[in-house]
Amino acid sequence: MPTTRELVLAALHARLLPLAALVLRDEVLPERIPAAGLIILREGQPGEPGVTLSPLRYHYQHRAELEVVVQAANGRASAFDTLIAAIGAALEADLTLGGLCDWVEPEAPATVDLPIEGAAALKAAVITVVLHYSTTGPLA
């Protein structure tokens, strides 16, 4: 049976799959960026839990990361903004990931332009998504 952590991360990945961009989980950056963009979900860190004793519950603020990349010769900023807005809309549509989380909280992206020799530049960002959830144990 999968852990709560895995169920939450799988639900986050599934929430992003309908977007036009290619959505991967814990994969290496591919050689080619699709025209609609690329999102790579990284598991991140669950951090130190808060603990309640009756009943025993571990409360996590798991910091997953979305690596978002767009490559275009023209309109890169607009394409990137459209993808970021689509991610926001997908998350806002269900901020509990089907009841698996207490709350899903995306943080604002810090963007960077990356020049590529002989190709269109990349516009990229890492978006931290804080997943608030509880488990019955640190390995549950």
The answer as to whether 118 is a domain residue is: yes
What CATH number did the domain enclosing 78 receive?
A: 3.30.70
CB count within 10 Å of CB 66 equals: 22
The answer as to whether 49 is a domain residue is: yes
**Which tens digits make up the pLDDT trace of 28-52?**
989 889 999 999 999 999 999 999 9
Cβ contacts of residue 14 below 8 Å, gap of 6+? Answer: none
CB count within 10 Å of CB 61 equals: 17
Determine the pLDDT at residue 85. Answer: 97
- In the chain, the number of structural domains is 1
The answer as to whether 91 is a domain residue is: yes
**Which tens digits make up the pLDDT trace of 81-119?**
999 999 999 999 999 999 999 999 999 998 998 888 878
The answer as to whether 139 is a domain residue is: no
Domain with 27, as residue range(s), is 4-134
Q: Which two tokens stand for residue 39?
A: 């999102």
DSSP strand pairing (56-71 vs 50-53)? antiparallel
What's the pTM value of the predicted model, to 2 decimals? 0.94
Average model confidence (pLDDT) across the chain: 94
The answer as to whether 103 is a domain residue is: yes
CA distance 124 to 70: 6
